Amino acid sequence: MTDKFWFNVARTFIKAGVFPVPISDTLIELLQTLITEEQAKFILIYKKPSMTLEEIKQKIDMEEQKIIGMLEILMHNGIIVGTRSRNAGVMVYRLMGLYPGIFEYTFLRGESSERDKKLAVLFEKLLGEITKGTQKNYDSIINVFKDLPPTDRTLPVEKEVEVGTETVMPFEEIKKYVEEYDDIALVHCYCRHAKDLINDPCRLGASKDNCFLFDKTARFGIEQGFGRPVSKEETIKILRESENQGLVHKVFHVHSDTNRGIEAICNCCKCCCGMINMYYRGAAPIHTMSSYLARVDEDSCVGCGTCVEKCPMETIELNDTIAFINEDKCIGCGVCAHHCPEEAIHLERIGPRHVFIPPKRIKIEK
């Protein structure tokens, strides 16, 4: 196939997502490892991210059973996600973007074949290219990111905090939220697994069995073997364990729309996971929804430095042996409050608010 063909395939994937990704030889090699030429031709019919079977049949000269067979393969590989529409009750087949989407589904099963290792290396290389693109075009890229919706919501882990927010909930409210969903799937942490595959394991030594899919996304994940059904009680237990490991609760909404239902909850560390890692590498900003800020009780603080060590955003420092929080970089995750041995930090509700923290400026080797 010609370079132009794979260029168009890459552009189709990028348009299906929300995250800007440069088209490069690395991306082309990644896609050629993920899909066959026949599958790539099929994907080119996706002029919009989601289609029903009837819409697909109108776009391609292929027998219905062959179309269904193609969709089954692409769903099994996490390239397309098929779920039933709530309103019409028909199956809708959504083409995944690269981030979030294909990256996550590629490593959800926690497999470690040579192909998986190759894909992890290619995704890592692609992330390096994204970083270079961001740094070389910093001001213009940041403006693009500002116009995108928040990637996720940050859920605080502190237990005792005032209830009553539309966008971020304390842990006891997370429990109530979990209770709303009958279908929950436990899946492998794709970020920490991808890091393992390139021999860069989590510095916290955090568990990899602590990510969740919800509702119809959970049903899809279970049907396609990406995860296993899990009870609400076990979900809460794992969320508690994640708090104690110093992880940040991140919730992802359908189509990145915070007004819609959730489809996933991840428990994130700064060294491996998603946008936090991209932020530190200079690839992308932190853009999250939160309703809280961490506050320090100076009379109770003894300057032990636990919060400095635990803060995933590195936004706390000791000033005259008292913890000082840079509010511009606080995402209200509550990790500091949860781990403070003196209970000298609490969360104050001030939102909901968009938290936008530009990526670090770093030197790029030519």
The mean per-residue pLDDT over the stretch 28-47 comes to: 97
Judge whether 289 lies within some domain: yes
Q: Are residues 199 and 336 in the same domain?
A: yes
The mean per-residue pLDDT over the stretch 200-226 comes to: 94
Whether the per-residue pLDDT at 21 is higher than 70: the answer is yes
Q: Is the pTM of this model over 0.75?
A: yes
For residue range 135-153, what is the model confidence (pLDDT) as tens digits? 999 999 888 888 887 777 7
Name beta bridge partners: 290: 353
Q: Which of 175-179, 252-256, 353-357 has the highest mean pLDDT?
A: 353-357
Whether the per-residue pLDDT at 168 is higher than 60: the answer is no
Judge whether 132 lies within some domain: no
> Which residue among 98, 123, 155 closes a domain?
98
Q: Are residues 82 and 154 in the same domain?
A: no
Q: Are residues 41 and 157 in the same domain?
A: no
Judge whether 105 lies within some domain: no
> Which residue among 98, 122, 153 closes a domain?
98
Confidence of residue 360 (pLDDT cuts 50, 70, 90): confident
Phi (first) and psi of residue 48, to 5 degrees: -135, 155
**Coil, strand or helix: which one is 212?**
strand
Q: Are residues 286 and 348 in the same domain?
A: yes
Q: How far apart are alpha carbons 318 and 308 in whole angstroms?
A: 8
Q: Are residues 218 and 318 in the same domain?
A: yes
**If you write DSSP's letter for every residue of 244-283 in order, what string do you get?**
HTTPEEEEEEGGG-TTS-EEEEEEE-TTTSHHHHHHHHTS
Whether the per-residue pLDDT at 161 is higher than 60: the answer is no
Judge whether 103 lies within some domain: no
Q: Are residues 74 and 145 in the same domain?
A: no
Q: Which amino acid is at 200?
A: D
Whether the per-residue pLDDT at 224 is higher than 50: the answer is yes
Q: Are residues 68 and 148 in the same domain?
A: no
Q: Which amino acid is at 54?
A: E
CA 103 to chain centre: 9
The mean per-residue pLDDT over the stretch 331-340 comes to: 92
Q: 32-41, 68-77, 117-126, 289-298: which has the minimum mean pLDDT?
A: 289-298
Residues of the chain with pLDDT > 90, as a percent, come to 67
CA within 13 Å, CB half, 347: 29
For residue range 63-79, what is the model confidence (pLDDT) as tens digits? 999 999 999 999 999 99
Confidence of residue 256 (pLDDT cuts 50, 70, 90): low
Judge whether 163 lies within some domain: yes
Measured distance between the N- and C-terminal CA atoms of the chain, rounded to whole angstroms: 31
Q: Which stretches of 77-113 are DSSP H helices?
A: 102-107
Q: How far apart are alpha carbons 268 and 103 in whole angstroms?
A: 16
Judge whether 251 lies within some domain: yes
- List C-alpha distances in Å: 277 to 20, 270, 271, 339, 357: 16, 6, 6, 22, 13
Q: Are residues 264 and 208 in the same domain?
A: yes
Confidence of residue 169 (pLDDT cuts 50, 70, 90): very low
Give the domain CATH number at 63: 1.10.10.10
Q: Are residues 294 and 203 in the same domain?
A: yes
Give the domain CATH number at 296: 3.30.70.20
Q: What is the largest CA-CA distance in the chain?
A: 73
State both tokens at 227: 């995860």
pLDDT at 275: 83
For residue range 278-319, what is the model confidence (pLDDT) as tens digits? 999 999 999 888 888 999 999 999 999 999 999 999 999 999
Q: How far apart are alpha carbons 58 and 66 in whole angstroms?
A: 14
Share the mean pLDDT of the chain.
Answer: 89
Whether the per-residue pLDDT at 158 is higher than 50: the answer is no
Q: Are residues 9 and 153 in the same domain?
A: no
Closest CA to 211 of 229, 231, 187: 187
Residue 144 domain boundaries: 140-357
Closest CA to 332 of 154, 166, 68, 82: 154
Whether the per-residue pLDDT at 254 is higher than 60: the answer is yes
pLDDT at 206: 93
Whether the per-residue pLDDT at 229 is higher than 80: the answer is yes
Judge whether 65 lies within some domain: yes
Judge whether 213 lies within some domain: yes
For the chain, count helices (H), then strands (E). Answer: 15, 13
